[in-house]
Amino acid sequence: MYRLLVLLSFVFFNQGLPAQNEEPVILHTATGDLYGSLILPANRNKFDLVILQAGSGPTDRKGNNPLGVNADSYWMLAHELVKNNIATLLFDKRGIAASKEAGRDESKLVFDDYIKDLEDWVALFKKDKRIENIILAGHSEGSLIAMVAAQKIKVARYISIAGPAKPIDEIISWQLKQQAPVLAAPADSLFNRLRKGEKIDSIPPLLFSLFRPSIQPYMISWMKYSPCAEIKKLTVPVLIIQGSQDYQVQQSEGEALRACDPQARFSLIPEMNHVLKRSPGNFAEDRATYTQPALPIVQQLVTEIVSFIKK
């Protein structure tokens, strides 16, 4: 009897929920395989696909990061979109999580590698006859990666989520001035040397993680891109989403990015923070949301994306 009640509760709980599947996917590259998850509606022959490019650092396909993020934000977004018959590809970047073997040598990784990987993911799914339209979306650093990739390979639409308008060196310089002013001037000096192509061997200890020798080629390749300049090159419909409570990418950055492309659709989501969850406003309490995987993402984010795709 107990087993029957358990079974019945499972059946009733799932009534009304959209059927969905998760398919493991692999992208073969010259330096190793990249691994992802395709979250898609079940029992449908045709659907749109969002390919979501993760943000900076060792952020995995779910939106988590061993440096202090356990929020499952990307995972939640994918499972909300599938309720609207929109599939999502989530994948681990080269060098991260399951794709670690594809990028073990940090010194050989450049920003353009991520752009090429995203182009290759799009090319792979263009062969899937179930997919009607491919939408590129990027979160944080991923906004710029997806932005440049959308110029190089044909997609239907582009979405920026918490994407900055300024180049990365200007963003880091601003963050240091806010959080560690004493480090701002030394960092600006190091950035100037990187712009000249200089190799930096002597690095202040407190700035070593930012300017360590193995990361310098990546930083140089990243600095050459300005999101404001790149978004102007897009020829597809653009949606820019920014949270009003984002302490990592300020509201002003989203507004500035929109000013760079006045034709873009812009959505400022009240109280949404950088991990796409509702923030209490207080910085300490905001950081606490970064480690709450049970806390739902802001529903307006889903509404805006679905509306943009189905328009």
The three state secondary structure string of the chain is CHHHHHHHHHHHHHCCCCCEEEEEEEEEECCEEEEEEEEEECCCCCEEEEEEECCCCCCCCCCCECCCECCCHHHHHHHHHHHHCEEEEEECCCCCHHHHHHHCCHHHCCHHHHHHHHHHHHHHHCCCCCEEEEEEEEECHHHHHHHHHHHHCCCCEEEEECCCCCCHHHHHHHHHHHHCHHHHHHHHHHHHHHHCCCCCCCCCHHHHHHHCHHHHHHHHHHHCCCHHHHHCCCCCCEEEEEECCCCCCCHHHHHHHHHHCCCCEEEEECCECCCCEECCCCHHHHHHHHHCCCCCECHHHHHHHHHHHHC
Q: Is residue 1 part of a domain?
A: no
CA distance 131 to 262: 30
CA distance 214 to 200: 10
Identify the CATH number of the domain in which residue 145 sits.
3.40.50.1820
Selection from 36, 8, 11, 34 nearest residue 23 by Cα: 36
Three-state SS annotation for 123-180: HHHCCCCCEEEEEEEEECHHHHHHHHHHHHCCCCEEEEECCCCCCHHHHHHHHHHHHC
Q: Is residue 89 part of a domain?
A: yes
Let me know whether 99 and 207 are in one domain. no
Q: Is residue 10 part of a domain?
A: no
| 181: containing domain | 168-224
Let me know whether 150 and 44 are in one domain. yes
Let me know whether 58 and 129 are in one domain. yes
φ, ψ dihedrals at 81, nearest 5°: -65, -35
Q: Is residue 182 part of a domain?
A: yes
Give this prediction's pTM.
0.91
Q: Is residue 43 part of a domain?
A: yes
Let me know whether 201 and 104 are in one domain. no
The whole-number pLDDT of residue 16 equals 43
Domain count, the chain: 2
CA distance 86 to 199: 45
Q: Is residue 115 part of a domain?
A: yes
Residue 298's identity, in one-letter code, is: V
Q: Is residue 72 part of a domain?
A: yes
Torsion, Cα 54 56 60 64, to 10 degrees, reads -110
Q: Which of 178, 209, 224 is the last residue of a domain?
A: 224
Let me know whether 159 and 176 are in one domain. no
The whole-number pLDDT of residue 270 equals 97
CA distance 238 to 157: 6
Let me know whether 158 and 220 are in one domain. no
Let me know whether 84 and 134 are in one domain. yes
The whole-number pLDDT of residue 18 equals 52
Q: Is residue 237 part of a domain?
A: yes
Let me know whether 201 and 161 are in one domain. no
The whole-number pLDDT of residue 281 equals 78
Let me know whether 56 and 94 are in one domain. yes
The whole-number pLDDT of residue 44 equals 81
The whole-number pLDDT of residue 20 equals 72
Determine contact, residues 64/43, Cβ cutoff 8 Å.
Answer: no
CA distance 58 to 156: 28
Let me know whether 176 and 299 are in one domain. no
Name the residue with tokens 């990061």.
Answer: 65
Q: What is the pLDDT along the chain (311 residues), one digit of tens a residue?
A: 323 333 333 333 333 445 679 999 999 999 999 999 999 998 888 999 999 999 998 999 999 999 999 999 999 999 999 999 999 999 999 999 999 999 989 999 999 999 999 999 999 999 999 999 999 999 999 999 999 999 999 999 999 999 999 999 999 998 899 889 999 999 999 999 999 989 999 999 999 999 999 999 999 999 999 999 999 999 999 999 999 999 999 999 999 999 999 999 999 999 999 999 999 878 889 999 999 999 999 999 999 999 999 98
Let me know whether 52 and 178 are in one domain. no
Let me know whether 119 and 195 are in one domain. no
